[in-house]
Amino acid sequence: MNSETSPIPNSDDYLSRLNDAQRQAVTHGTGVSAGGAVSSPLLVIAGAGSGKTNTLAHRVAHLIASGADPRRILLLTFSRRASVEMTRRVERICKTVLGDKAGPLADALAWAGTFHSIGARLLREYAQQIGMDPAFSIHDREDSADLMNLIRHDLGFSKTEKRFPGKGACLVIYSRVVNSGVPLTDVLLKHYPWCAGWEAQLKQLFAGYVTAKQEQGVLDYDDLLLCWAQMVSDPVLGSFAGGGEILR
């Protein structure tokens, strides 16, 4: 594969659908390396209705059409629906640009999905290296809230004279603490002052929740991202779990 960008058929028509800012984002970088990596990073910050999805889909299609290996492109979205829609758009654009060659190339876009699904995939792949059972279960938000409520009940907090925060509120507080890395005291004071009087009990509840997850071999949505982040911090695993091997 040449280190320079290959000519793109029908490029004028392909780019004419984009405005100047979108076109600049899509074509950023002067070439693609032999491994398929873009020559320089790009951060796009855009508001609602600015065409982010369309621009990103064109960007991925542009990379594929320029010679990047689609197996080394990591495409992440927040929702499953967005992931499916993004992949479909990439396929349509590639078909317009590449014709019959588009199908196999777009199908090779193997690392496209939500942050949580890709995180789960990487964790299962490298579970043994980080001391985790690859057969772990994943709790969605409803499952997590139910487990939180079970621990809440076992600790007697569901029968307090003054009403203890419900399972949903407890899960939201827990999620903010673990994702922000901010102490529970500060989180309560800033975001949930009406729950500040329950700090000691919440600490006990969260500790019980974590223990229950470990005993059951369960990860919640927060764990998928946190464990992935921990993998990335490892000098060896980081080159794989962080996408380095995918994008290199």
pLDDT digits 0-9 by tens, 103-162: 666 667 888 999 999 999 999 998 888 888 999 999 999 999 999 999 999 999 988 768
What is the number of domains present in the chain?
A: 2
| 80 plus 147 within the same structural domain | no
61 found inside a domain:
yes
| 23 plus 82 within the same structural domain | yes
Q: For residue 144, what are the domain limits?
A: 137-216
> Which two three-digit tokens encode residue 47?
């508001």
188 found inside a domain:
yes
| 106 plus 147 within the same structural domain | no
DSSP state of 38: B
| 28 plus 97 within the same structural domain | yes
Percent over 70 (pLDDT), the chain? 83
pLDDT digits 0-9 by tens, 31-63: 544 455 545 788 888 888 888 888 988 998 888
* Beta strand ranges found along 50-111 (DSSP E): 75-77
| 156 plus 104 within the same structural domain | no
- Closest by CA to 232, choosing from 128, 75, 119, is 119
| 103 plus 185 within the same structural domain | no
| 94 plus 144 within the same structural domain | no
68 found inside a domain:
yes
227 found inside a domain:
no
Last residue of a domain, one of 64, 94, 110: 110
- The reported pTM is 0.77
| 106 plus 15 within the same structural domain | yes
SS3 248: coil
Tell me how far apart the alpha carbons of residues 102 and 65 are, in angstroms, rounded to a whole number.
Answer: 9
| 94 plus 184 within the same structural domain | no
**Cβ proximity of 78 and 115 under 8 Å:** yes
Averaged pLDDT for residues 220-241: 84
pLDDT digits 0-9 by tens, 88-97: 888 888 888 7
33 found inside a domain:
yes
| 141 plus 96 within the same structural domain | no
Tell me how far apart the alpha carbons of residues 109 and 153 are, in angstroms, rounded to a whole number.
Answer: 45
The residues with which 222 forms a beta bridge, in sequence order, are none
**Cβ proximity of 100 and 39 under 8 Å:** no
For residue 37, the domain's CATH number is 3.40.50.300
Rounded to the nearest 5°, which phi and psi values hold at 95? -65, -40
| 150 plus 86 within the same structural domain | no
pLDDT at residue 239, as a whole number: 67
**Pairing label, strands 137-139, 112-114:** unpaired
Indicate the average pLDDT of the chain: 84
Residue 227 or 14, more confident = 227
Tell me how far apart the alpha carbons of residues 115 and 208 are, in angstroms, rounded to a whole number.
Answer: 27
**Pairing label, strands 75-77, 218-220:** unpaired
Averaged pLDDT for residues 58-69: 86
pLDDT digits 0-9 by tens, 158-177: 887 688 999 999 999 999 99
1 found inside a domain:
no
| 97 plus 20 within the same structural domain | yes
131 found inside a domain:
no
Q: CA angle at residue 246 from 229 to 101, to 5 degrees?
A: 140
6 found inside a domain:
no
